[in-house]
Amino acid sequence: MSAASYIAPKPRELRRRVILPARLRMGAHWSDACILNISSRGLMIQASRAAPEGSVIELWKGDYVIVARVVWRKGVRAGLCSDDRVPVEEIMSLAQSPGLQLTASTGRSPCERRKRPRTHEESRIRARVMEFASVAVIAASPAGTAFAMLEQAFARPLAMISAALGS
């Protein structure tokens, strides 16, 4: 092999090894993911619901949304390539922020923005409370109107009696 025909391999960009929880969106489906390494143009993730090669996904970490294409997939791991630059330093600083660390009391990450899904019973109770509140507002409205009408009806005779008594 001559030196002229040898093409040097393109140097790989520095990848930072991390373990960062994130949210993965594929179409209308959401799932949990974990970022395992990150560079300015791509990431390696682990997700139970990995997208097929060539599909475009969104990876959400904090306030950052990374739109990327799946370039390889092996089991639950996948390599993602982004057309835009990945904000590596900002995402890394999210992981080091003391306000976003796991707490022993809750067992959940404070940066988790999803609400836990409501159970059927919770939904039923919430609907009953809203129904009761709306009936109370509807009942209070005519009661307030009736009070104002009675006040006006009795105001004149009471004023006349008060004037006649001289008080």
4-41: pLDDT as tens digits: 566 666 667 788 888 889 999 888 888 899 999 999 88
- The tokens for 97 are 């922020």
Rounded distance between C-alpha atoms, residue 75 and residue 68, angstroms: 18
Range of the domain at 155: 118-167
What is the number of domains present in the chain? Answer: 2
Is 10 domain-assigned? no
Query: Angle at CA 76, nearest 5°, toward 115 and 74?
Result: 150
Is 50 domain-assigned? yes
Q: What pLDDT sits at residue 40?
A: 87
Residues of the chain with pLDDT under 70: 1-11, 95-116, 167
Task: Tell me, yes or no, whether 33 and 73 share the same domain.
Answer: yes
Q: What pLDDT sits at residue 8?
A: 62
Q: What pLDDT sits at residue 62?
A: 82
Amino acid at 123: S
Rounded distance between C-alpha atoms, residue 136 and residue 81, angstroms: 56
Q: What pLDDT sits at residue 87?
A: 85
Q: What pLDDT sits at residue 2?
A: 55
Residue 93 host element (H or E): helix 88-96
Is 110 domain-assigned? no
Residue ending a domain, among 50, 70, 99, is: 99
Q: What pLDDT sits at residue 10?
A: 66
